[in-house]
Amino acid sequence: MVTVRFVLSSIALAFTAYLAARGLLWTSPETVERGWLIVAALVFYLPVTWLWIFAIGGRAAPERAAAPGPVAPMRQMPTWGVALALLAAVVVPTATFSAVTEAGRGQPFVTWVIGAIGALMTIVVVRRSPLVAWTGMAILALSSAFWLGPLDALSLGLVGSIVWVAAGQLLMVALDRTARDADHLVELQQAASAWQASQSGRQRERRLHVQRALQAAGPILARTIETGGNLRASEKAAARHAEASLRDELRGPRLLDDAVRAEIEAARRRGISVSLFDEGGLEGLATPALVDIRGELASVLRDAVSERLIVRTSPHHEVAVTIVGRSSGEGASGDDDQVDLWREIRRPR
């Protein structure tokens, strides 16, 4: 499968090979004093460049690799790769310029080294080593200015090499910014999906509440309309139970399941007043934990004999639900009741 990286690597390979081939086209052989130095520079340049294209991918620093973030961590290039790149920036221009006479230093088969080192440093900066790349460019600028003069060096390719490296760095900055924006959009999409899922869950929960309300209050409402409000005592009691069931669904939905509803209904038929209050604390609990809490609550309700039961959820980190039973005792005065039941349901660990 042909990838973008393979295509770009192939282009870089062909381009550096073309630049190196220019070094063998000696258009003025009489100016060449030490041709073996030019060949040696080529033999050194090509393997170093191709190593950076294909072999030297770098490895993430251990302390950075585990760091979260939208953009891949900067790579820590191997020391030997950095040393080879900087050595090429020093050796290749020096060897090539010193291999010809002063009159031949402006020939294309000599000045190829300016573009060649610029191409190598562009590859280095794309490999996310900008400090190494600009260090190599500084070495190239000093070397070419020493052998050619500043103005001739600029006119014979130094400006183009600087532009290549700068463009490579700007490209990497743009790619990093694009990656951050893409990850931000993914986070927004995930948040929107989570919100939509929560809204769908709330809608389903509301539909269930409405269905339970119709099941509990529908018959007694129909009977109330039918009789014009003239209900028998048993029907009034059924209406009060239906009203209490609706309050339970509104005030403490997380506390309820079929077993809890049945025990609350049985307690009310025994004459116990039951009040539910969900004040938070059960959010985020897994379904098995809620099942255990509701099972223990149903057991407490089954055995309760108090006149009033108050069931309240708790945001405490250890207590999930508190159940208080109050009754009017012989020692109670006025509206004060005695607490004859206190039960705490522990939060599952």
Query: Of 136, 159, 189, at which residue does a domain stop?
Result: 189
Could you tell me the residue range of the domain that residue 343 belongs to? Answer: 252-349
Query: Of 189, 213, 229, at which residue does a domain stop?
Result: 189
Q: Is the domain of 20 the same as that of 156?
A: yes
For residue 304, report the phi and psi dihedrals to the nearest 5 degrees. -75, 145
Q: Is the domain of 177 the same as that of 272?
A: no
C-alpha to C-alpha distance for 189 and 199, rounded to whole angstroms: 15
Q: Is the domain of 185 the same as that of 113?
A: yes
Q: Is the domain of 131 the same as that of 280?
A: no
Q: Is 307 part of any domain?
A: yes
DSSP code of residue 281: S
State residue 330's pLDDT score: 61
Place of tokens 């050194």: 44
The β-bridge partners of 321 are 313, 345
Q: Is the domain of 170 the same as that of 257?
A: no
C-alpha to C-alpha distance for 200 and 210, rounded to whole angstroms: 15
| 3-state SS class at 341 | strand
Q: Is 148 part of any domain?
A: yes
> What is the SS3 string spanning 291-315?
HHHHHHHHHHHHHCCCCEEEEEECC
Mean pLDDT by 10 residues, the chain (349 residues): 69 78 74 85 89 66 41 60 91 90 84 90 89 93 91 89 92 89 90 85 75 71 75 76 79 85 89 87 83 92 91 86 85 66 87
Q: Is the domain of 184 the same as that of 264?
A: no
In the chain, how many domains are there?
2
Q: Is the domain of 185 the same as that of 259?
A: no
C-alpha to C-alpha distance for 126 and 164, rounded to whole angstroms: 11
Residue 238 and residue 220 in contact, taking contact as beta carbons nearer than 8 Å: yes
Question: H helices within 53-98, ranges in order?
Answer: 62-65, 79-98
Query: Of 162, 189, 216, at which residue does a domain stop?
Result: 189
Q: Is 225 part of any domain?
A: no
Q: Is 115 part of any domain?
A: yes
